[in-house]
Amino acid sequence: MQRKLPHSNLYLREEELRRGVELLYFAYRDFTRDPDEILAESRFGRAHHRVLYFVGRNPGTTVSGLLSLLRITKQSLSRVLGQLVEDGYITQESGLEDRRQRLLYLTDKGQAFEKELFATQRDRVAEAYKRAGPEAVAGFWEVLLNIVDAEERDTVLRQIEK
């Protein structure tokens, strides 16, 4: 007969690992809900939101910059980017040093829309931060960063510390 041994790694048991997996699923499910609802009223979707977001955060970024950040294919990006440019949410300027590059910027219209979309997620996250408190928030960042692929952590750090 086996005795239950006390051990210090209680947070690494199957149960706790499942909890992380499930909370990630449920949190992400709801996290995307508010912007998705706004987007559903336009001809845009979640992919457009991501492009708006990251162009807003990194004005002057290029197509290949977005590709490596979003990790989708050129064709997927090209489609949504084209629609955003066509509808006047994003402008492109050719690169100063390398004229093949297209430097991407939000127009005023793009900024306004991004702001509206972000507001819903900002409110949700702010409320969660408030309820959980600063120490919990630090832990939240720490674990999430370590869930990211090891090779990608530098890129992510550069992004979030901007």
Partner DNA sequence: GAATTTATGTCAGTGTTGTTGACATAATAT
Partner DNA sequence: ATATTATGTCAACAACACTGACATAAATTC
Applying CB under 7 A, which of residues 99, 131, 158, 162 lies at the interface with DNA? Answer: 99
79 binds, among a copy of itself, DNA, none (CB under 5 to 8 A by kind): DNA
Of 41-49, 121-129, 140-148, 150-158, which part binds DNA (CB under 7 A)? Answer: 41-49
Q: Cα–Cα distance between 20 and 72 in angstroms, integer?
A: 25
Q: Is 32 in the site for DNA (CB under 7 A)?
A: no
**Residue number, 36 or 87, with CB nearest to a copy of itself:** 36
100 binds, among DNA, a copy of itself, none (CB under 5 to 8 A by kind): DNA
Residue bearing tokens 């590709």 = 67
Q: Which of residues 88-127 bind a copy of itself (CB under 8 A)?
A: 118, 121-122, 124-127
- Which residues make up the interface to a copy of itself (CB under 8 A)? 10-12, 14, 16-31, 33, 50, 53, 57, 71, 118, 121-122, 124-149, 152, 156, 159-160
